[in-house]
Chains A and B, each alone.
Chain A
Amino acid sequence: MLKDELGPYFGEFGGRFVPESLIAALDELDAAYNEAKNDPEFAAELAELHASYTGRPSIITEIPRFAEHAGGARIILKREDLNHTGSHKINNVLGQALLARRLGKTRLIAETGAGQHGVATATAAALFGMSCVVYMGEVDTERQALNVARMRLLGAEVIPVTAGSRTLKDAINEGLRDWVANVDDSHYLMGTVAGPHPFPVMVRDFHRVIGDEAREQVLKLTGALPDAVVACVGGGSNAMGIFHAFLDDADVALYGYEAAGEGHLTERHAATLTRGRPGVLHGARSYMLQDAEGQTIESHSISAGLDYPGVGPEHSWLKDIGRANYEPITDAEAMEALRLLSRTEGIIPAIESAHALAGAIKLGKELGPDSVILVNLSGRGDKDMETAAEYFDLIDSAEKAAAADKKASDKKAADEQNAPGEKA
């Protein structure tokens, strides 16, 4: 059974390519996770948090008006955007935070791209009374300013990372460095199915609830399994979460949509599985974007959450064994799908999730009106309003000037808030 893979390797992918200093912490985490996994109390505690805090189970929504633009296929959304904090990220964060508490850790370290994982981690830290530091590429702190403010409001310290490409990849490097130095009291709460073992398998397991619920919900609604399950793929956590329940359903096709930025044949994309080749990045062997000498190539995407030159090892494996298909979606295609869902269904998706929607439009035309496509709507678009407003030119010039003034004064206020000595 494909569902039974437990790592550390998925085929030739995965493993632990990290400094020796981290091995003990990874072993400790692995042991704690395996113990918790078989502990009914842990499962009950997590389920209770999901029921009373996350808002699980998340609903499914059929979207016929959108589907008219997708060859008339039946399209059903799994609404992870309705979770507390606005995306699927909270599933994994609550699981890992519970584990961290079991291990006696009092400080959470996280990396974030779009800010969704950082917000979710800051939320869990507030809930559990832990301290929290979030590393975020400087480029991302600018394009996701609203999420930076949310994390700070929740009591987290947000550290803009100025090294390298100043995006998610460099935020992970900085998170790992912090963990190496503070492993005694800190847990590195990795936000995706990448990184050294046990992160890929553990993060996947905490997101399995997405596919487990959706499989039952679609069966109940349509009387059958869907023909295809689709999700966007950056690191790949929401995709693994929804794919997992269907891995051994041979008749269900799995599609992951990567960010092709300005086009996967240009130099500005994040289409790791389409254009990359196997290598080692952030502790695991997997597909990655790299030059001939193994230096990581910087990725590009309008979506901060998909702007990553690596991908989780289980996806690399599913690609190589032919179980899942991975296709590129450009910035323009994703933004068009974002606007279409907003206007036809009154649901504004995250730009990340809009890549999956754009993929569903193409796939629906291919599979035809008799097909049923389940789409993981992994997050909501509130955080992306500034990007969308600029992209679609939604703000009139007078309002634009006012918004610019406001942005400047917000930045000033944020800088003041961050001034040394004023931190609590």
Chain B
Amino acid sequence: MSAVEEAIAQANRDRAGALIGYLPVGFPTVAESIEAAVALAENGVDVIELGLPYSDPVMDGPAIQKATQLALSNGFRLQDGFDAVAEITSRVSTPVVLMSYWNPIMQYGVDRFADELKAAGGAGIITPDLVSDEATEWIAASERTGLDRIFLAAPSSSDERLVRAVEASTGFVYAVSTMGITGARSDVDIAAKTLVARLRQAGSTSACVGLGISTAEQVREVLTYADGAIVGSVFVSALSSGGVDAVAKTAASLSTGTLA
């Protein structure tokens, strides 16, 4: 069992389930993004998802787009991502996975990227625009390094594709709660519950729900059927308006939703 899968399983043994927190590297600065990620870990987040800024983030809504664009214009480099993973994992034991669009990984070299991430102490990669059908090279690199490969599953995915997503993924399957992009929503789609049930039938023992989750109440609701709840935009907004303290406070508040 990988560190990520173990962290999620542990949260499900101790509490209602896991809280996975997203923040982009380099927003508002590399140093502050590291402090904010550490604050997530210290306030009840079980797995850290670090986003690598990218010029064309088609899965991201306005809040995250704005943050990652700022990081890019401040001169973000992929090396900053590896450095951030190394520093965070040296300070907290919470596993850290990267979220990256495919082109930066492909240009860096899939094997080289996997080796650097592994050396920095990273646990895996979420690939929002890489489906397992196109992932032969990455699957081989993840087998070789032991990094988790986390693919997405959507409400629109066929049963056959859900089986494929479950079989191809390690650590967890990222269940997209709604047909849309990142961003806080007032209610999480009923589609999420149905999707997780379908993922269970496809054999998933580690399914986490993301997109649109922004309150402790939503976390609690999602954890009644899923193994983890993934929260992103609300942390980015907190960091943007109130700095690292606000991120800590938001994480502490959202993690109350994981209590059984």
Contact = CB atoms under 8 A, between A and B. Distances in A.
A294 to B, nearest CB: 3
Contact of B131 (A16, A279, A280, A290): A16
Contacts of B55: 164, 295-296
Most chain B CB within 10 A, of A24, A27, A283, is at A24
Interface in B154-174: 154-158, 161, 165
A20 B103 CA distance: 16
Interface string A52-94: 0000000000000000000000000000000000000000000
Contacts of B152: 19-21
Interface in B168-194: 176, 179-181
Contacts of A294: 54, 103-108
B199 to A, nearest CB: 12
Interface residues of A, number: 34
A180 B161 contact: no
Interface stretch (A113-121, A169-177, A299-307): A169-177
Contacts of A290: 103, 107
A292 interface: yes
B104 A295 contact: yes
A25 interface: yes
Q: Is the interface of A mostly helix, strand, loop or mixed?
A: mixed
Nearest to A184: B179
Contacts, number: 108
B97 to A, nearest CB: 17
Contacts of A25: 156
A292 B161 CA distance: 34
Contact of B181 (A17, A169, A170, A180): A180
Contacts of A180: 58-59, 179-181
A181 B179 CA distance: 5
B189 to A, nearest CB: 11
Interface string B129-143: 111011000000000
A183 B155 CA distance: 11
A282 B102 CA distance: 11
Contacts of A283: 129
Contacts of A170: 56
Nearest to B178: A181
B131 A18 contact: yes
B69 interface: yes
Interface string A267-305: 000000000000111110000001011111000000000
A389 interface: no
Contacts of B69: 163-164
Contact of B180 (A15, A18, A181): A181
B78 interface: yes
B133 A19 contact: no
Given A24-B157, A295-B72, A296-B56, A19 B129 contact: yes
Contacts of A182: 179
Contact of A15 (B54, B134, B157): B134
B28 interface: no
A293 B179 contact: no
B107 A17 contact: no
Interface string B236-252: 00000000000000000
Contacts of A18: 58, 129, 131
A21 B104 contact: no
Given A173-B57, A290-B103, A293-B77, 9 more contacts: A17-B129, A19-B176, A23-B156, A24-B154, A173-B58, A180-B58, A180-B180, A292-B107, A295-B72
29 contacts: A19-B128, A19-B129, A19-B154, A21-B154, A21-B156, A24-B156, A24-B158, A27-B158, A163-B65, A163-B69, A173-B56, A173-B58, A177-B59, A183-B156, A279-B107, A280-B102, A280-B106, A281-B56, A281-B103, A282-B58, A283-B129, A290-B103, A292-B107, A293-B77, A295-B54, A295-B55, A295-B72, A296-B56, A296-B103
Interface of A: 15-21, 23-25, 27, 163-164, 169-170, 173, 176-177, 180-184, 279-283, 290, 292-296
